[in-house]
């Protein structure tokens, strides 16, 4: 019988948020909502949807493996060279490309906990060693992370804003950190939610890219642009880093529909601003209601809120809300994460949460 390697068998599989269709099929209910995967509740830009409709007749053709048109639009928008951008089937693929390119068996990768679980999974898959530093006040403890650097350290992951806490690291914190990190180490700054950030003290990762540091900045069209179902993300780094990653990238890793929808989405600033406003208003409402319930939460710079439970477990709350047609994300034993939705979705979540608090 064919057996997987021990380091593969020990990996804990990633469990995505439960689909609405699955919940309704299992419980025989309808009108359910999903606030588990940090998706844009407004959906994609109307321009992106139109681009999709106009592209379906070309599906017999392979996509442009170089993402030429999207590359040109992003290059101009970001003021970077075309060869300083890499595209992936979601930013998850770019994480995998970076790890497979720059990490060898026995090498170390630094990361925080809790943070995006995919980092540790991919490092483990290539037989690297995960060096995990707990968050401090729910934020990356960059000072402690810098102290953990050894000769074996090849990659450092920083999620900014962090998933699942929604917290950020500041300009000063990242500046101090970068001064302490040897230049040969690749610093991967995951900015999947950066468009949502309102703080003026948000760290400027592009500054270090323009200084020529070994930094890879990850961004995605899955979150604020509402294209999660098409799977498209991108990374910004020096041309040598991108060239190395492209050597193992699959030739047609980004489909043609995703490329065209992304180009259109980048042109729709109105939809972007509407999404931000919807998120800010939803955040204010949820803060107020959680405070009324005397439930502790971590203030967020993203489109989700990390909630700390006292007298209930995350599994108890999760299951109770499922029965009421509300899908959230259980995290630790006593923590949950909820995506900020449309007003009616936020109200339904709060009503279900109130009932759970009263009955559990």
Q: DSSP letters of 101-117?
A: HH--TT-EEEEEESS-T
Q: Is the pLDDT of residue 293 over 90?
A: yes
Asked if 343 and 315 touch (Cβ cutoff 8 Å), the reply is no
Cα dist. 227→44, 221, 259, 269, 279 in Å? 6, 6, 10, 15, 17
pLDDT of amino acid 12: 82
Q: Is the pLDDT of residue 279 over 90?
A: yes
Q: What percent of the chain is predicted at pLDDT more than 90?
A: 91
Cα dist. 129→26, 83, 95, 248 in Å? 39, 30, 16, 21
The mean pLDDT value of the chain amounts to 96
pLDDT of amino acid 67: 98
Residue 13 pLDDT grade (very low, low, confident, very high; cuts 50, 70, 90): confident
Question: DSSP 3-state helix, strand, coil percentages of the chain (rounded to 5)?
Answer: 45, 15, 40
Structure token pair of residue 292:
């009324």
Lowest mean pLDDT among 20-24, 51-55, 116-120, 345-349: 20-24
Q: Is the pLDDT of residue 27 over 90?
A: no
pLDDT of amino acid 11: 80
Domains of the chain: 6-43+270-359 (3.90.1150.10), 46-266 (3.40.640.10)
């Amino acid at each position: 019988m064919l057996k997987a390697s021990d380091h593969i068998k020990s990996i804990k599989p990633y469990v995505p948020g439960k689909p609405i269709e699955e919940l309704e099929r299992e419980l025989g209910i309808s009108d359910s909502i999903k606030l588990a995967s940090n998706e844009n509740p407004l959906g994609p830009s109307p321009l992106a949807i139109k681009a999709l409709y106009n592209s379906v007749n070309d599906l017999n053709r392979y996509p442009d493996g170089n993402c030429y048109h999207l590359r040109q639009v992003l290059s101009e928008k970001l003021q970077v060279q075309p060869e300083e951008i890499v595209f992936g089937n979601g930013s998850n693929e770019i994480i995998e490309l970076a790890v497979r390119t720059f990490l060898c068996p026995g090498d170390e990768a630094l990361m925080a906990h809790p943070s995006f679980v995919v980092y540790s999974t991919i490092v483990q898959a290539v037989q690297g060693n995960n060096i995990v530093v707990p968050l401090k006040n729910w934020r990356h403890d960059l000072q402690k992370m810098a102290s953990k650097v050894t000769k074996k350290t090849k990659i450092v992951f920083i999620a900014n804003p962090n998933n699942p806490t929604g917290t950020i690291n500041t300009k000063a914190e990242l500046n101090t950190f970068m001064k302490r990190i040897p230049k040969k180490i690749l610093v991967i700054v995951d900015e999947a939610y950066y468009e949502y950030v309102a703080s003026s003290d948000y760290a400027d990762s592009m500054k270090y890219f323009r200084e020529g540091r070994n930094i890879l900045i990850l961004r995605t069209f899955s979150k604020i642009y509402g294209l999660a179902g098409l799977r498209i993300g991108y990374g910004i780094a020096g041309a040598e880093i991108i060239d190395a990653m492209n050597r193992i990238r699959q030739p047609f890793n980004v489909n043609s529909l995703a490329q065209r929808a992304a180009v259109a989405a980048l042109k729709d600033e109105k939809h972007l601003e509407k999404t931000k406003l919807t998120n800010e208003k939803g955040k204010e409402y949820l803060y107020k209601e959680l405070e009324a319930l005397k439930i502790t939460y971590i203030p967020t710079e993203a489109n989700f809120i990390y909630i700390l439970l006292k007298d209930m477990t995350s599994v108890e709350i999760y299951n109770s809300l499922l029965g009421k047609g509300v899908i959230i994300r259980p995290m630790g034993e006593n923590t949950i994460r909820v995506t900020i939705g449309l007003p009616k979705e936020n109200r339904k979540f709060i009503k279900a949460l109130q009932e759970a608090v009263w009955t559990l």
